[in-house]
Amino acid sequence: MTYLELAYKVLEETQRLLWVDDIWRIATEKGYTKAVKKAYTKEEDNINVLDAILYEAVGKHRLRLLEKKGLYYLVDATNLPAQIETALYGPSINSYQELVTHKKVKHFLPSTQGFSGMSFLFLLIIGFPISLCLAANFQGGFYLSASLVIGISSLLLCFAVVLLLYFQFTNCSIRIHSDRINIYRTFYPKNKIVSIPIKNLVRIEVTGLGAENQLNSTFKSLTLTYQNNFSIAGAVTEQEIVTKKIRCHGYINPSTSYDPFAILIRNFESFVTLRKFLKEIAVVYNIPYQEK
């Protein structure tokens, strides 16, 4: 058996993306390394040789390399997306019950796709004309001067700050843990807005989270009503009902696939999936759930 045949055998059997070290380790565990011709005594030497041979063979037949990650795999159109997902991000979590079982955290981060274009158009079409008029009025006429340039730049900076605040307060990222829901600001500073124990949830209301349309820039919102427990004088525990409404910009539903391999974009998972998780939590904990 050659080094290349050994690698193909391991990759074929495991159906995973593997680092060269893992290929050699699995082959050793299965006893395949004993059949390799011209094998070296040191494991490190064998791994280096195997890596060189595999790198040379990438692109031939079915062998491929995810170069930035150093992962080798065999091309298989039927299960390649799942292999890449698992190799990069671990087992996919598709339900709240799986999240509890695997003790993972599910991240929902709005896609900022299109935000740069929106910012440019806002500053060009609205910010610049207003800044030009105000700066010109301040200096008493439309003529090029240092005060005009400084005035326009300063006012455009103010418009940029307003735009950043707009994005900051109309977008959030959500992390669902097995016992709580944490909500953070999407843009810098990415501070935590609120942390809500799931057992304290009283009601869940969502607006527009089921819409999959990036062209529709309507706002979407998530309203969580929960009990907030706090102590007085370190002894008596009081409860208050708190309602937290989170607004989300319309650009939060990117495509769930990326051509050409239909790989799920974990970092920008659709808020439609968030809707599914919230509905499941509502069922598990018998919490009233409402959609608008």
Q: Is the pLDDT of residue 132 over 70?
A: yes
Lowest mean pLDDT among 14-18, 132-136, 207-211: 207-211
User: DSSP of 75-110, one letter per residue?
Assistant: --TTTHHHHHHHHHH-S---SHHHHHHHT--EEE--
Confidence of residue 285 (pLDDT cuts 50, 70, 90): very high
Q: What per-residue confidence (pLDDT) applies to 43?
A: 86
Closest alpha carbon to 32 in 5, 63, 70: 5
Q: What is the mean pLDDT of residues 51-56?
A: 90
Cα-Cα-Cα-Cα dihedral sign, residues 131, 158, 169, 240: negative
Q: Is the pLDDT of residue 257 over 80?
A: no
Q: Is the pLDDT of residue 267 over 50?
A: no
Tell me the average pLDDT of the chain.
81
Both tokens assigned to 56: 């040379």
C-alpha triplet 18, 24, 26: angle, nearest 5°? 75
Q: What per-residue confidence (pLDDT) applies to 265?
A: 45
Higher pLDDT, 261 or 109: 109
Helices marked H in the chain: 3-14, 20-30, 43-57, 80-89, 96-102, 115-121, 128-139, 146-169, 271-284
Q: What is the mean pLDDT of residues 95-102?
A: 88
Question: How many C-beta atoms lie closer than 10 Å to residue 141's C-beta?
Answer: 8
Question: How many C-beta atoms lie closer than 10 Å to residue 232's C-beta?
Answer: 8
Q: What per-residue confidence (pLDDT) applies to 250?
A: 47
Contact residues for 89 (Cβ-Cβ < 8 A; gap 6+): 266
Closest alpha carbon to 73 in 47, 54, 89, 56: 54
Q: How far is CA 273 from CA 167, 176, 276, in A?
A: 22, 12, 5
Q: Is the pLDDT of residue 105 over 60?
A: yes
Q: What per-residue confidence (pLDDT) applies to 251?
A: 47
Confidence of residue 248 (pLDDT cuts 50, 70, 90): confident
Q: Is the pLDDT of residue 84 over 90?
A: no
pTM recorded for the entire structure? 0.62
Rounded to a whole number of angstroms, the CA Rg of the chain reads: 27
- The amino acid that residue 163 corresponds to is L
Q: What per-residue confidence (pLDDT) applies to 206?
A: 87
Confidence of residue 252 (pLDDT cuts 50, 70, 90): very low
Q: What per-residue confidence (pLDDT) applies to 235?
A: 59
Q: What is the mean pLDDT of residues 193-222?
A: 76
